[in-house]
Amino acid sequence: MALSYSPDWFRRVKATGYFAIYCPDHPAAWDTGYAFEHRLVAERTPGRPLLPHEVVHHRNYDKHDNAPENLVVLSLAQHRRVRVAVKGGLG
């Protein structure tokens, strides 16, 4: 998937299993200059930076699949409901 925020992006996998992109000029970048790729991709849908309380859910539960159609922005409460429904269905 091509990302268009900056030609200087570098990708790495964090210990959480999520991809992080080097984009030091992005408002969501950490002190290291990285930000989570799924959040950067998902913020394109509403056309604004995501708010701290917004969560990006991977529809197929694959942390490496950051295709826009696989990502949905949810509130924390909405994301908890999705997680509970999935856990309930697995037991």
Domain that holds residue 22: 11-90
Average pLDDT, integer, range 1-15: 58
Any domain includes 54 = yes
Element (H, E) at 82: helix 76-90
**Overall pTM > 0.95:** no
Residue 12: pLDDT band (50, 70, 90) is confident
Any domain includes 4 = no
Pairing type for strands 54-58 and 34-36 reads: unpaired
Count of structural domains, the chain: 1
The DSSP 8-state label assigned to residue 85 in this structure reads: H
Calpha distance 34→26 (Å, rounded)? 9
| pLDDT tens-digit readout, 57-89 | 999 999 999 999 999 999 888 888 877 666 665
The Cα-based distances of 19 to 10, 36, 39, 74, 91 in angstroms read 10, 6, 10, 19, 29
